[in-house]
Amino acid sequence: MGRRSKEINSIAIAKLVGVSRSTVSKVINNYPNISEETRARVTKVVADYGYFPNLSARILAGKRTETLGFFHFAHGHFSEDFLVSSMISGFVEHAASFGYHILSYIVREPETEKTKRMVREVFHQQRIDGGIILGARNHEPLVEELISEGFALGIFDQNLPGKEEPNRIVVNLDDERAASGALRYLYDLGHRKIGILNGDTRRSAGAAKQAGFLAAAEEKGIEIRPEWFLYTDFSEASGYSSMCKFLSSGMPLPTAFAAANDTVAFGAMKAFAEKGLQIPEDVSIVGIDDHPMARYQRPALTTYRYDFLAVMRRLIELIVKRIEDPDSVDSSRREVFSPVFIERDSCKKVDAVS
């Protein structure tokens, strides 16, 4: 009928071998002070009967769950899912190499009581040993609450420069460098009239990218005109609608745009296409991420590549270390990864007339 019969337990194994459950347990857990002969006999019976110690009983007796929660804060839109979900495979495999299991969650409305409860429950139930947070805003109350409750958290993309943020492991990509690099690249191609498709500045990445755009503009002595500074929330839809609105405003067009991420650039490119504007003939555009789709755009999008996989690997490594030996990792660890420039076909050289 598909119902499972009972599994064999440690008492049965002990009886079979003719030792105590303590001894079985010690063999299973590879403890010292067991004679080779006993160890061998227990091991054999365990293998013969296909015995697997019950996980819940082990956890209840004080063992770790060896499970990590992966919380993807998605804030209602699906824009990043494609990118994020394409990271999951590598993520799961890397965790597995440490012997850890991955429980995945999508967090759509972190401010909702229902969502908060769901997430907190996962931790408080002791379903996981620690969590990985992706896409949360800076100082997301839910995240701060979990940290204050003492849970082990690894966060991707969160930091407010100058602010102390204790008791968390944070791994970031160098957003400021990517953004300023993108702007400088356009400048070096001769562009002086440059527009920005800015991101969500409530998120660390958004704030850092804005800082990068502005710093490079200032460095090169070019002014970003307010009407060329467009706002998005990092989603393709917002990139599209922002650009549509701008294009139908009748304002003069800059010769190039730097976008806060590739997804936003995709949206803008769609808007350009609908208005009959050719890229890069009529307008250049550069993104950030090297989204899997970037090279399939027409034209292929020039961008900064973020090695998300490497970053996530590192985050897992650090969180596992922290879980297994809390003192081995600073209570407030921070690491930054650098992006790599990928030149493709979406930008052209232009006469540098200011």
Partner DNA sequence: CTGAAAGCGCTTACAG
329 vs 154: CA distance, rounded Å = 12
Applying CB under 7 A, the span of 47-55, 138-146, 182-190, 329-337 interacting with DNA comes to: 47-55
Which of 44, 124, 139, 245: binder of a copy of itself (CB under 8 A)? 124
How many C-beta neighbours within 10 Å does residue 193 have? 19
Length of the chain: 354
| Block residue for tokens 């060896």 | 66
19 vs 56: CA distance, rounded Å = 23
Closest approach of a copy of itself to the CB of residue 58, in Å: 8
Q: Is 114 in the site for a copy of itself (CB under 8 A)?
A: no
Angle at 40 between CA 39 and CA 44, to 5 degrees: 115
306 vs 322: CA distance, rounded Å = 25
For the chain, give percent helix, strand, coil, nearest 5: 45, 15, 40
Closest CA to 272 of 282, 263, 262: 282
Closest approach of a copy of itself to the CB of residue 186, in Å: 24
Query: Among residues 122 and 347, whose Cβ is nearest to a copy of itself?
Result: 122
Query: Among residues 9 and 85, whose Cβ is nearest to DNA?
Result: 9
Applying CB under 8 A, the span of 99-107, 199-207, 250-258, 307-315 interacting with a copy of itself comes to: 99-107
Q: Is 49 in the site for a copy of itself (CB under 8 A)?
A: no
**Site residues for DNA, window 53-82 (CB under 7 A)?**
53-54, 57-58, 60-63
Q: Is 227 in the site for DNA (CB under 7 A)?
A: no
Query: Among residues 89 and 248, whose Cβ is nearest to a copy of itself?
Result: 89
Query: Among residues 125 and 249, whose Cβ is nearest to DNA?
Result: 125
Q: Is 237 in the site for DNA (CB under 7 A)?
A: no
164 vs 105: CA distance, rounded Å = 28
Which of 35, 249, 281, 296: binder of DNA (CB under 7 A)? 35
Q: Please, where are the H alpha helices in the chain?
A: 10-17, 21-28, 36-49, 55-60, 81-97, 113-124, 141-148, 175-188, 204-220, 236-247, 262-274, 308-324
- Applying CB under 7 A, which residues contact DNA? 6-7, 9-11, 18-26, 28-29, 32-35, 37-38, 51, 53-54, 57-58, 60-63
- Applying CB under 8 A, which residues contact a copy of itself? 1-5, 7, 50, 52-57, 59-60, 67, 72, 74, 78, 81-82, 84-89, 92-93, 96, 101-106, 118, 120-122, 124-127, 149-152, 167, 292-293, 296-298, 322, 326-327, 331
